[in-house]
Amino acid sequence: MARFINPFTDVGFKRIFGQEINKDLLIDFLNGLLEGEKHIVDIRFLDKEVLPAFAQDRGVIYDVYCTNESGEQFIVEMQNRPQVNFRERALYYLSRAVARQGERGADWQFRLKAVYGVFFMNFCLDSGSHKLRTDIVLSDRETHEAFSDKLRFIFLELPSFTKEEQECETDFERWIYVLKNMDTLQRLPFKARKSVFEKLEKIVDIAALSKEDRMKYDESIKIYRDHLAVEAYAKEREERRMKEAWDGGLAKGLAEGRAEGEKEKQRQIALRMKGKGMSAEDIAELTGLSVAEVGEL
């Protein structure tokens, strides 16, 4: 039986990264993610539901939405399954956060704060590169010089992370290792190295959940497993369909090949008969070829 919650469930992910009381966990993860670029001291959680600006527009609901002490905004999402237009969805999410910064009045001057999108993916992007981290920034296509630092996408492809515990070198890698393997571990590693992992262990221990939280988590894990089962069934059905199509095509090809080989054999026999002066009608009767086919030899 698993000791720790599954962080890929909705309840599990938000318990780790979406609670004000445990915001130091999210701060530590973001600092590991952006090490060498910035150091976040504090964050404030924002309303995860962004209402539409117009009645006919649609709103969005983020998993985690927060801002740091400098006013920069962070949208953190967990995505378990590929979605149609997944990249466009990410672009839409961040664009809405940028657009919300607009203020009425002539003195605003478009003073935007940076918006970061961090997307955990329990699947691989269709780019073919299969790497853990993909950073998307706005830059000049030819010189690669940064055009603006106000929009940043960071996609984390969890299946592409293959390091073992002892191979993790940075806090970012340690976070990814723990998150990816959490529901199979009996203890959380790296506690001696950093106290944040000791706190994390207490938060994600299933035995420490309240009765209400345990019910919510059980429902969340049921939904998660149902989705996995549906995906596995769809994948198996597609593989079976492809195999049947392949086997059917192979059998048809072999049959056609055998038939063509047999016909070629009869042509060679007919050709020898024709060389001996036999009539086309007799040759056709003996070989099964048509009189026209014998005539073409």
Q: What is the pLDDT along the chain (297 residues), one digit of tens a residue?
A: 789 999 988 889 999 999 999 999 999 999 999 999 999 999 999 987 765 554 445 556 788 999 999 999 999 999 888 888 889 999 999 998 998 888 766 677 888 999 999 999 998 887 667 899 999 999 999 999 999 999 999 999 999 999 999 999 999 999 999 999 998 999 999 998 899 999 999 999 999 888 998 898 888 888 877 777 777 777 777 777 887 777 676 666 676 777 777 777 777 777 777 776 777 777 777 677 777 877 777
pLDDT score recorded for residue 59? 56
Q: What is the CA radius of gyration of the chain?
A: 32
pLDDT score recorded for residue 277? 73
pLDDT score recorded for residue 154? 97
pLDDT score recorded for residue 69? 95
pLDDT score recorded for residue 36? 93
pLDDT score recorded for residue 55? 47
